[in-house]
Structure 1
Amino acid sequence: MKKFVAPLAPLAPLAILAMALPAATSLAAGGADVRIQLVDARGVPVRDAVVEISPASGPNASFRFPGRAAMAQKDLQFTPGTLVVAKGSAVVFPNLDRVRHSIYSFSRIARFEFDLYGRDQTRSRAFPITGSVALGCKIHDDMRGYIRVVDTPFAGKTDHNGIMTVSGVPGGMAKVTLWHPRLRAPGNETVSTVSVTGNLSRKFTVTLK
């Protein structure tokens, strides 16, 4: 089986993050190339939106994105700000700051809290339910992070041009789910249906808060 890793927007130059960032991954050979672009109402590309392509036939095998799923705390920020992981994955939360952090989530699919922990310490948690998880720090109110848990290997984040590309998508009808923390829609997501009859390129215009 052939894997394809879609390019993502450049992020912090940290080795642990370079391995951790998920990318659109293909488990099917000989399928179509699908290119999705998101822009806002002004035509400006929407970066770091999550695109999920779910063929009507469903994925033909269990999957994991390459690398270790990690969301670090660095310079009083979550890095990356949005992380895409496969359903059932465990995410590690290394503290790379000189200060302690206390991470929490009140999201429906994952309610948890990590007590204060310091530099070079790590916590971890599995995410067995699909959906979005909003993260915060009880010590630093401005810190915001998001984890999107998906059940399709044809998923990834848009780059600085608002584009996500993936290969190997099976032909036929497919559901396209778009998610962004500022997307003005129930659950911050929209769902559309497309027909994959060959290589496909689609542009979506979304409204942001």
Structure 2
Amino acid sequence: MPQQRRIHAPLLALALLAGATSRAAPVEVLALGSDGKPLPETVVFLESGEAKAAAKPGGMAEMQQIERRFVPRVLVVVPGTEVRFPNRDKVRHHVYSLSPAKTFELKLYTGTPANPVLFDKPGVAVLGCNIHDNMVGWVVVVETPHHAVAPATGLARLPDVPPGRYRLRVWHAGLPPGTPATESPLEVPAVGVRTQVKLPLTASAL
């Protein structure tokens, strides 16, 4: 009689976890304007109960100031993320936000402030500089690890998304202030999915 092999519970759990991870697939979202052309800097994210549970707090992100601009202009993080605002310019900056999602002020400084800013609740924080009125940036806080900002091609890629049902949310800084992210259902199969969305904006008008 052949000898049966025993699989210990910890090894079985690891095998199941590896199998679940291997089933995750990419989701690609093409963001277009009303003219059908790519819409860079569109924020794309997937929401669900499982995604919210997977959005672990913590970590560090960075939004630099280079040539009197925020780089990147649009930064997406999960709640509990600390963001540094290093000044790479030779002039001083005074970064602030008056948004309900996050109110803070980094008074006139060069280099990197000692204390990063903690973004602890979802929403959109609009950033400015008290010295340079043309400087504007956005920190978008979302309760999901599945998020991306579309590059110049307009194609946002969210890697390793587990199969399931999600709410596809899309937002752009060019929308009227206070406009919430659009929402539509999205079923993600085990092989991944590619879809497209249109916003009432054109890149030329931004």
Q: TM-score, normalized by length of structure 2?
A: 0.80
Percent sequence identity is 31
The letter of the residue matching 1:44 is K
Provide the rounded CA distance (Å) in 1 between the counterparts of 2:177 and 2:95.
26
**Equivalent residues of 1:36, 1:164 under 8 A apart:** yes
* Matching residue of 1:181: 173
**Alpha-carbon distance change, 60 to 107 in structure 1, aligned in 2, over 3 angstroms:** closer
Q: Which residue of 2 aligns with 1:161?
A: 153
CA distance in 2, matches of 1:184, 1:107: 15
Matched, 1:52 2:45: yes
Counterpart selection for 1:63 from 47, 56, 61: 56
* Aligned alpha-carbon RMSD (Å): 2.3
Q: Deviations over 1:93-124 (max 9, x none)?
A: 11111111111111111111111112x23252
Q: Aligned-pair distance for 1:197?
A: 2.6
The within-5 A match list for 1:1-209 is 28-59=21-52, 61-63=54-56, 68-118=60-110, 120-122=111-113, 123-184=115-176, 186-198=178-190, 199-208=192-201
Q: Cα distance 1:174–1:121, how it changes in 2: closer, same or farther (>3 A)?
A: closer
User: Deviation at 1:170?
Assistant: 2.3
Structure 1 residue 192 displacement after superposition: 1.1
Q: State TM-score, norm by structure 1.
A: 0.78
SS, match of residue 58 in structure 1: helix
Q: Residues 173 and 56 (structure 1 numbering): CA distance in 2 closer, same or farther, change over 3 Å?
A: farther
Partner of 1:18: none
Bigger Rg, structure 1 or 2: 2
For residues 201 and 172 of structure 1, the distance between their equivalents in structure 2, rounded to whole angstroms, comes to: 14
Asked whether the 8 Å contact 2:55–2:78 carries over to 1, the reply is no
Q: Deviations over 1:51-85 (max 9, x none)?
A: 1112353355343698x411111111111111111
* 1:88 Cα offset (Å): 0.5
- Inter-partner Cα distance in structure 1 for 2:179 and 2:154: 20
Q: Which runs of 5+ in 1 are unaligned?
A: 2-26
Higher normalized helix content (fraction of residues): 2
Q: Aligned pair count? A: 182
* SS of match in other structure, 2:170: strand
- Give 1:195 deviation, angstroms: 1.4
